[in-house]
A and B are shown apart, each in its own frame.
Chain A
Amino acid sequence: MFAFDQVIAARLLTSLTLGFHIIFATMGVGIPLCISLAEFVGLWKKDVHYLLLARRWARGYVITVAVGVVTGTCIALQLVFLWPGFMQLAGKVIGLPLFLETFAFFFEAIFLGMYLYTWDRFQNPWLHWVLSVPIIMGAVGSACFITSVNAFMNTPQGFRLENGVITAIDPWQAMFNPAAPSKVAHVLSSAFLTVSFVLAAIAAYHLYRKKQHEYYQKALGFTMLLALVFSVLNTVMGDWSGKFLAESQPEKLAAGEWHFHTGARAKLIVGGILHEDTLETEYALGIPLLLSILAKGTPDAKIIGLDQFPRELWPPLYVHYFFDLMVGLGAYLFVVSFLFVGLSFLQKRGKLTRFSRYNRPVLAAIMAGGPFAVLATECGWIFAEVGRQPWILRGVLRTGEAVTPAAYLPEMLVLFVLLYVFLAVLVTSVLVRLFRKTPPEVELEARKIIL
């Protein structure tokens, strides 16, 4: 074991980079799908508004991709610099999806270049739309591969460790580890949900500022419909992830739910304060039977508690708050998108018309949903990663054993903090300037003449 500070510094730097990357990675996974769908609708209905939507999203997307690529390069190399012991071992067993991920990047990067610079080049506009399909494949593919690596860290398999020597390596088995399916599904659904809400929040912001152009109304209706679909899908996938944990990683679920005593008819604990010495909770909302029902499907199911694990292997118990926040925000996103879509549905049938669906409280709720969705993603990752502690590779390698012995780690931490502050300011100002400079009204004017 190296100095305590070394582990703390390395973990801080890793979580900082990943926490920053994941925002842009989530955008990178979700935006191509939204662009493609908007262009599809635009071509199908011959509606310029949707085509312009696709164009403007694509333009913003370039900037988020640039930062995604930059921070992704950082995290890829930082894993080698900060956790050399882990990467050495991981390289031997889980190198395959990492390697495959680069092909997905390549594929995406190549077609993105084509897509962005060929808007008006083809006689048949559907050909341009076709170019968006490989972009989605690349983005989704890279998310699948990298998430499979992360799943491997939670349920490592495909090798044997004998006296510190790795044998019987099976890269395919490692890649298709038990945690992969539910994790990949939930990561993808949450990325689509987050992006739909972020894009909806932008449209809502413009409507809130009293810009009543049809363009914004269509943008909002479209993204809120997507948000509703993905919010339902995401809840199902999140439930699947929870059921998976109950089965295969019970200590993570138990820490997230503050479930200390193994037993049937388990109570679900929401919020509250924990007294770490007595393990008593205060001010928590306890719902009888619900944990058993959610985790295993029946109230009589036995749920493993933390009493089955030695105390030094317990994950930090504060992950409970991150779990609750993620689920709470997920519920919020569902309610808001359901309300809006329901209201639109009724109004198109001539009901409830005295009550505009573009009223300010509704728009404000949607605007809050964008940042909330990003926050939920961050909470989900913190729960998933901190909940794996003290292991970096569950049951195989502890985080403290994998950290680099190299000097000057704290200095590097400071350096990267400065970099991310700089990047955050730069991205925000570039995006704001870009969209302020050419408002859609102006672009529509310019285009209508051509079309």
Chain B
Amino acid sequence: MELHKIGIAIAWIFLYGYLIVASIDFGAGFFSFYGKLTKRDHIINAIIDRYLSPVWEVTNVFLIFFVYAVIGFFPDVAYMYGVALLVPGSVALLLIAIRGSFYAFANYGARKNTVYLFVYGVTGLFIPASLATLLTISEGGFISVDGQRVELLLHQLVRSPYAWVVVLLAIVSVLFISASFLTYYADRANDTEAREVLRRFALYNSLPTIFVSFLAFFTIRTHNPEHFERMLSMSWMFMASLACFLLALALIIQRKWYGTAFLFVMLQFAFAFFGYGRSHLPYLLYPYLTVESGVTSDAMGVALIAAFVGGILLLIPSLFLLMRLFVFSATYVQGRK
């Protein structure tokens, strides 16, 4: 495989990792708030806290990892996106910063405060929305490049239907992923009451997810027909995604095998996300920057891959241990330890 393919695959895998773990976290924040509003917080919040407490910090690292992987493998991206994204990027940072620091606050009893839960829940939806907008921008048409002068065309962005569909898709996906995971987690904890509430959240968000996905599919056709063509040429991936979704939905409806159902949700997003990513190639920023033109030197590429292999060998056993201790440990999940 060539360097640029390996590089983009590594970056994309970690963005997918972020998509899953961060969605669970963001959605959980929103459900806490929503639970409070609808006076069901006493049912679901214990489950949410038990899961989030030990793993929240890992979530953020996925994002940083993606950023550094892209800068390492495709340093030219740093320039164009860096200049274009000063304002929206800073706003996203601000949201991440507020949310992250509120977490520390929450550890010490602030969870019962409605204002706190509101900020925590709502930033959890704004962050994925703003990050998804990054992908929208990469489709081209929203950045003007003139030599060293790079500018984000904000007016075009807010008037684009495609951009809004992507924002909507990000939000419903977050809620769907999160609810289906938490349903599984509550089920493992033998907490039937919480499971039923969360299961309903999952069902409410299931059809909107798939509906908005279709919308995104059709709006990209007008926005970037070239990309749409490439998506059609690998349409099997999107079909597979739909199939996984239907399987997951069927299991959740039948109240069966929540773990398997969540696995299918993960597969649903894996197929869609990698299908989108593959069809996005060769462009990193349409039409200015491609993976081939932007890739780093061979020497750096080899060093990064060596670092990656070493790092992964270290991480996999550690992550496995973390899961063993918290997510898959029945005694922990059920709150006995």
Residues of A within 8 A of B (CB): 62-63, 65-67, 69-74, 76-78, 80-85, 87-93, 95-96, 98-103, 105-107, 109-114, 116-118, 120-121, 134, 166, 169-172, 404-409, 411-412, 415-416, 419, 422-423, 426-427, 430, 433-434, 437
Comparing B40-48, B89-97, B170-178, the segment that makes contact with chain A is B89-97
User: Which of A71, A166, A405, A412 interacts with B83 by CB under 8 Å?
Assistant: A405
Residues of B within 8 A of A (CB): 53-55, 57-58, 60-61, 63-65, 67-69, 71-76, 78-87, 89-91, 93-94, 96-98, 100-101, 103-105, 107-108, 148-151, 296-297, 299-300, 303-304, 307-308, 310-311, 314-315, 318-319, 321-322, 325-326, 337
Please give me the 5 A-B residue pairs with the lowest Cβ-Cβ distance, nearest first: A91-B75, A84-B82, A95-B72, A103-B311, A66-B104
Known: A102-B68, A113-B54. A77 touches B97 (CB 8 A): no
Q: Shortest beta-carbon distance, A231 to chain B, in Å? A: 30
Contacts between the two chains (Cβ within 8 Å), count: 212
User: Could you tell me if B79 and A85 are in contact, using CB atoms closer than 8 angstroms?
Assistant: yes
Listed A/B pairs (13) with beta-carbon separation below 8 Å: A76-B67, A88-B79, A95-B296, A102-B69, A106-B58, A106-B315, A120-B337, A171-B304, A406-B84, A406-B87, A408-B87, A423-B97, A430-B104
User: Could you tell me if B64 and A96 are in contact, using CB atoms closer than 8 angstroms?
Assistant: no
Give every chain B residue within 8 A of A109 (Cβ-Cβ).
57-58, 60-61
Give every chain B residue within 8 A of A118 (Cβ-Cβ).
325
User: Could you tell me if B58 and A78 are in contact, using CB atoms closer than 8 angstroms?
Assistant: no
User: Could you tell me if A412 and B87 are in contact, using CB atoms closer than 8 angstroms?
Assistant: yes
A85 to B97, CA, bound (A): 25
Known: A71-B97, A87-B78. A77 touches B89 (CB 8 A): yes
User: Which of A107, A433, A437 interacts with B315 by CB under 8 Å?
Assistant: A107
Q: Shortest beta-carbon distance, B146 to chain A, in Å? A: 11
User: Which of B61, B84, B101, B300 interacts with A92 by CB under 8 Å?
Assistant: B300
User: Could you tell me if B325 and A70 are in contact, using CB atoms closer than 8 angstroms?
Assistant: no
Give every chain B residue within 8 A of A93 (Cβ-Cβ).
300
Known: A62-B104, A73-B100, A100-B307. A92 touches B75 (CB 8 A): yes
Known: A80-B81, A95-B300. A69 touches B307 (CB 8 A): no
User: Could you tell me if A77 and B104 are in contact, using CB atoms closer than 8 angstroms?
Assistant: no
User: Which of B60, B76, B87, B300 interacts with A171 by CB under 8 Å?
Assistant: B300
Q: Shortest beta-carbon distance, A138 to chain B, in Å? A: 10
User: Which of B55, B68, B148 interacts with A99 by CB under 8 Å?
Assistant: B68
Q: Shortest beta-carbon distance, B98 to chain A, in Å? A: 8
Q: Closest A-chain residue to B103, C-beta based? A: A66
Known: A74-B93, A91-B71, A109-B58. A67 touches B104 (CB 8 A): yes
Known: A81-B85, A433-B108. A110 touches B322 (CB 8 A): yes
Q: Shortest beta-carbon distance, A319 to chain B, in Å? A: 29
Give every chain A residue within 8 A of B94 (Cβ-Cβ).
415-416, 419
User: Could you tell me if A74 and B318 are in contact, using CB atoms closer than 8 angstroms?
Assistant: no
Name 15 extra pairs, CB < 8 A, besides A92-B75, A95-B296, A426-B105: A69-B57, A76-B67, A77-B93, A80-B78, A85-B79, A88-B75, A88-B79, A90-B75, A91-B72, A95-B300, A113-B57, A114-B321, A121-B337, A404-B82, A426-B104
A150 to B327, CA, bound (A): 38
Q: Shortest beta-carbon distance, A245 to chain B, in Å? A: 29
Indicate the member of A107, A406, A409 with the most B CB atoms within 10 Å. A406
A171 to B315, CA, bound (A): 23
Q: Closest B-chain residue to A63, C-beta based? A: B104
Q: Shortest beta-carbon distance, A324 to chain B, in Å? A: 34
A66 to B106, CA, bound (A): 11
Give every chain A residue within 8 A of B325 (Cβ-Cβ).
114, 117-118, 121
Q: Closest B-chain residue to A74, C-beta based? A: B93
Q: Shortest beta-carbon distance, A337 to chain B, in Å? A: 30
A117 to B63, CA, bound (A): 24
A422 to B107, CA, bound (A): 18
Q: Closest A-chain residue to B14, C-beta based? A: A102
User: Could you tell me if B108 and A404 are in contact, using CB atoms closer than 8 angstroms?
Assistant: no
Known: A91-B72, A107-B318, A169-B297. A73 touches B64 (CB 8 A): yes
Give every chain B residue within 8 A of A80 (Cβ-Cβ).
67, 71, 78, 81-82, 89
Give every chain A residue within 8 A of B105 (Cβ-Cβ).
426, 430
Give every chain A residue within 8 A of B83 (Cβ-Cβ).
84, 404-406
Known: A426-B105, A430-B105. A169 touches B299 (CB 8 A): yes
Indicate the member of B61, B69, B87, B149 with the most A CB atoms within 10 Å. B61
User: Which of B65, B78, B86, B149 interacts with A102 by CB under 8 Å?
Assistant: B65
